[in-house]
Amino acid sequence: MRLQRLWLTDFRGYAAAELEPAPGLTAVVGANGQGKTNLLEAVAWLATLSSFRGAPDDALVRVGADEAVVRAEVVADAPARADVGPGGSEGPGGTGRLVLLEALIRANGRDQVLVNRQKLRRARDLLGSLRVTVFSPDDLALVKGGPGERRRLLDEALVSLAVKHDALRGDLERVLRQRGTLLRQAGGRATPEVTATLDVWDAKLAELGEATGRARAALVDRLRPATSAAYDQVATASASVTLTYDPAWRRCDGGLGAALAAARAEDLRRGVSTVGPHRDELELVIDGLPARTHASQGEQRSLALALRLATHAVVTDVTGSSPVLLLDDVFSELDPDRSHALLAHLPPGQALLTTAGPLPEGAAPGLVVRVAGGRIVDGGAPGAVAAGAGTGVV
C-alpha cells in the first residue's frame, strides 16, 4: 500500500498543501510547531477516521474555515476488497490499483468521505482503504500506561486486520454503556424488571465479549513471536519478551455469560460492569519480570517500539500489504543506538518520518520535505505552492 499524493485544504495550519511522498522513506523536517506532525496526522485520519493525537474533529479544521479537506491517491497492492466501497469495484484488484480517497472533516456536523469521487454512505466505510502504522513519542505509554493503552493497541490492530472489528468494538462499547447505565439506575436493587433487562444485556455482552476475546487471543498469538523478534532487533541487549492475554473470564466454565452471572451481585452493588473484555490486560514481561514496573526506561522504549513493529509485521502478513509507516518525532525519544537499529530494521514499504533535529545517522530518505509556518517550503509536489519558496538545502 503506497501513498502517491496528498493534498490538504484548511487542515490544521495548512491553508493548502500538496505532497508527493517517495515510494520509500520521506523525511519531513522543520522546527517545532511548524506543521510536521500535521502531515502525518492527516494521512492517519484517512486510515482511522480519527486523530492519533486524540484531537477532536473541530481542532483539525483551520481557524476560520468550516471544513478541512484531506485528499490522497493511494496505490493498493492488495486484492480488491468489497469494504472499500463503490470505488473498490472498479477493477479486478491486484497490483497498482489507484484509489482516490477524500475526506471532508467538518468542524460542526457530519464528516463526508468519498472513494473515487463516490460518496460513501457512512464514514466508516472508508476503513480498510488505507492502513497505517503510527509510531509516536507517546508510545511509551503502551508499556508504562494502564491496561487501556494495550487494549487499544490490540483493538486498533484488529480493525487493520479486518474492518468488521470496528463494528464489533462499537457494539461492545454501546452494550457496556447501556448495561452500566442500567446498573447505576438500579441503585443496587435487583427488581424483577432490572433482572429481566440485565439478562438481555448480559446475553449481548457475552456474545460480543466472547467474539472480542477470541479475536484478541488470536492476535496475541501472532504478535508474540513477532514482538520477540522485533525486540531483539531494536534493543541493545537481547532479552526474552513474553506477551500474555489470559483474562479470568475466558477460563471460566460457561465463558463470559457464566462470569457475568457470578459477578452480578457485585456489579449491582458497585453500579459498574466489573467483568468483561473492557477490563482485559495484555501482560508484558521481560526476562520474567513485569515490564511496566520492573523494566528500565530503555527496555520499555525498546518494547514499545517492538510492539509497533510487530503489529506492523502481523498486519502486513495477514493482509498481504504493508501499511504506510508514520514515524512521528520518534528519534527525539530514542538514544542513537536504538534510532540506528530502528532505521536499520525499518520494514520494507513506504515510511514518512518527522524530525526537528538532524536526521539520524543511516537515514537515506528518498525525499526531504521542509515545513515552516504551515507551509511546505521545499520538497512538496512539483509545481505546487512550494515553487520558488525554498532556498535552503537539507
Partner 1 sequence: MYAGPVQDLIDELGRLPGIGPKSAQRIAFHLLKLPAQDAVRLSRAIDEMKARITFCSRCFNVSEGDECELCADPRRDTHVVCVVEEPKDIVAVERTGEYHGRYHVLQGAISPIEGVGPDQLKVRELVARLEPEGITEVILCTNPNIEGEATAMYLARLLRPLGLAVTRIASGLPVGGDLEYADELTLGRALEGRRRLE
Specify the residue, 23 or 94, whose C-beta has the smaller distance to partner 1.
94
Instruction: Output 170 or 362, the one with its CB closest to partner 1.
Output: 170
Are 259 and 280 within 8 A, CB to CB? Answer: no
Whether the CB-CB separation of 238 and 232 falls below 8 Å is answered with yes
Question: What is Dmax (Cα atoms) for the chain?
Answer: 76
> E-strand spans in the chain?
2-11, 14-19, 25-29, 67-76, 97-106, 112-115, 118-119, 132-135, 241-244, 283-286, 289-290, 324-328, 351-355, 367-372, 375-378
Residues of this chain that interact with partner 1 (CB under 8 A) are: 82-83, 86, 88-89, 108-109, 125, 162-164, 167, 171, 174-175, 177-179, 181-182, 185, 193, 196-197, 199-201, 203-204
Angle, alpha carbons 192-195-199 (nearest 5°): 140
Pull the grid cell for residue 101: 480517497
CA 215/CA 209 separation, integer angstroms: 10
Write down the least CB distance from residue 384 to partner 1, Å: 34
In this structure, what C-alpha cell is assigned to residue 51? Answer: 486523530
Please report the DSSP string for 121-165 in residue order. SSGGGGTTSS-EEEE-GGGGHHHHS-HHHHHHHHHHHHHHH-THH
Specify the residue, 181 or 236, whose C-beta has the smaller distance to partner 1.
Answer: 181
Nearer to partner 1, 55 or 167 (CB): 167
* Identity of the residue, 77 or 83, whose beta carbon is nearer to partner 1 in the bound complex: 83
The Cα 204–Cα 240 span in angstroms is: 39
Nearer to partner 1, 182 or 282 (CB): 182
CB of 243 to partner 1, least distance (A): 28
Judged by CB, which is closer to partner 1: 163, or 359?
Answer: 163
Q: How far is the CB of 189 from partner 1 (least distance, A)?
A: 13
Q: How far is the CB of 278 from partner 1 (least distance, A)?
A: 15
Give me the least distance between CB of 118 and partner 1, in Å please: 11
Alpha-carbon distance 247 to 275, whole Å? 10
For residues 379 and 376, give the distance between their C-alpha atoms in angstroms, rounded to a whole number.
Answer: 7
CB of 203 to partner 1, least distance (A): 6
Minimum gap (Å) between residue 182 Cβ and partner 1: 4
Minimum distance, C-beta of residue 160 to partner 1, in the bound complex (Å): 14
| Residue with smaller CB distance to partner 1, 169 or 370 | 169
